[in-house]
Structure formats: structure tokens, C-alpha cells
Structure 1
Amino acid sequence: MSLPPPPPYPPSYGPGFPPPRPSAGAPLRVVFAVVTGLLLAAAVAVNGLLSFGMLFAGDSCGTSAGTARFCDGSGGWMLVAMFGPWVALAAAVVTVVLGAVLARRPWTALAVGVLVYATGPALALFTVFG
């Protein structure tokens, strides 16, 4: 006596699951992160060079090459020239993070962050060279 064959495997019910789709913004997020990282590295390098240059900016105060704004020492312009680019970099990072995370406009926030950062080195150079 033999056993009857088992019943066929029941078919799956309902439609099958579609394969997962990659999110549409994933490649752009990677590009945004790379561009932001490169700009941040460039800004840190520029600030480092400016800080190094500001160490020697006061050497010209005894000659006619020094600006009155920078060399008088009363207005704190040396501090503005030395720390202005770093404060502007911190403000730019906050601008980009808030714009990218809260406002969900990363590229616009990056452009505004670049403009915010550019004010620091421009102010430092204007302070020293008049």
C-alpha cells in the first residue's frame, strides 16, 4: 500500500511584494555631503592661513603700511581680524545645518552658508588692509 502524493504547495495569496526601490534623494544627499565636506575643509584651510597671517599683521604698525583702524589697538580690531573668520565659519555651519535639516533646503542653505562664511575673511582682510 502506498500513500497518496502530498497536495501541491498552495500558491501565495495576493500580489507579490515589489522589490524595494532606492530613495530618490539618496545620491543627492551623498553629493551634498561631499560638497559640504570639501567646502568645510577649504574654509578651515583658509582660516588657518588667515590666522597665521594675522600673527604677523601687527608688524607693519610701526611703518606707514599699517592701517589706523588695525594699529591703534583701542577698538579691538585685532581680535576681529583674528577671530572673525572662525566666528563666521561657525555661523555658516549653523546656517547650513539648520537650513538642511529644518527647512529641508540643503543647496539653498549651502549657498547662504558660503555667503555667511565669506563675510569673516572679507572683514578680516578689510580690517588689516583698509
Structure 2
Amino acid sequence: MNVPPPPPYPPPRPSPGGTRKVVFAVAAGLLLAAAVAVNGLLFFGMAFAGDSCGTSAGTARFCDDSGVWMLVAMFGPTVALAAAVITVVLGAVRVRRPWSALVLGVLVYATGPALALFTVFG
């Protein structure tokens, strides 16, 4: 009763594009961490930016009486970050263009800090 051993199973092959998905996830994670750090710094800075409104250093836009521009400067980067995350996720999942979506997400996010800095420094 000599039974031959079963043929060896072929080694599992990695899924096509698996490495690219990992690289994309790492790149998106690093960019998200950098954006969260920038948002934290901007939020901290914007919390104290109103201190210059009584002096000649305050800009007319930022120091108006309504406080709308102060809220835009403080929360604009956070809203832009949320919009950028939605853009990247939708672009990567629905459109299947992750790298183009990542570039578009970076551009969408950049509008938030740019608007905040423009509001404060005029």
C-alpha cells in the first residue's frame, strides 16, 4: 500500500496591485498625519490670533465685529481636511483612481490653511 503524496499546493500569489495598495495607504496615512499636525498648529495659532485686534497689527477682515472671519480662520482647515478625506476615499473606492484622488485631496486640503492664513495676514 504505497500511496503517493498529494501534489504540493502552489504558493499563494499576491493579489495584483497589492504592493501599490500598501504604498498608497502608507502615503495617504502620512499625508493625513501631517495634515492633522498642521491643523493642530493652525487651530492653536488661530485661538490667539484675535489678541492683535486691538492693535495696528490686526487686519480689518479678521478683526471685524461679526467674528465670522475668525471662525473661518479657525475651523476652515478642519472643514477642508474633512472634504479632502471624503475626496480621497470616494476617488479611490468609487472611481478607482487612488493617486489622482490623493493629489486632488491634497489640493482640496490646501485651500483650508491658505484661507486661514489669508484671513489673518490679509
The amino acid of 2:104's aligned partner reads V
What residue is the counterpart of 1:81 in the other structure? 73
Please, which runs of 5 or more residues in structure 2 have no aligned partner?
none
- Give the SS at the match of 1:74: coil
* Runs of 4+, deviation exceeding 6 Å: none
**Using the alignment, how far apart are the partners of 1:52 and 1:75 within structure 2?**
17
Superposition map of 1:41-80 within 5 A: 41-74=33-66, 76-80=68-72
**Using the alignment, how far apart are the partners of 1:61 and 1:106 within structure 2?**
43
Please, which runs of 5 or more residues in structure 1 have no aligned partner?
1-5
Superposition map of 1:104-115 within 5 A: 104-115=96-107
TM-score, normalization by structure 1: 0.85
RMSD: 2.0
- Give the SS at the match of 1:70: coil
Provide, for residues 61-80 of structure 1, a one-character-per-residue CA deviation record: whole Å limited to 9, x for no partner: 11111100000132600110
TM-score, normalization by structure 2: 0.91
What residue is the counterpart of 2:116 in the other structure? 124
**Using the alignment, how far apart are the partners of 1:73 and 1:121 within structure 2?**
22
What residue is the counterpart of 1:3 in the other structure? none
CA-CA distance at 1:123 after TM superposition: 0.1
Identity of aligned residues (%): 80
Provide, for residues 78-99 of structure 1, a one-character-per-residue CA deviation record: whole Å limited to 9, x for no partner: 1100000000000000000000
CA-CA distance at 1:126 after TM superposition: 0.2
How many residues align structurally?
122
- Which one has the largest radius of gyration? 1
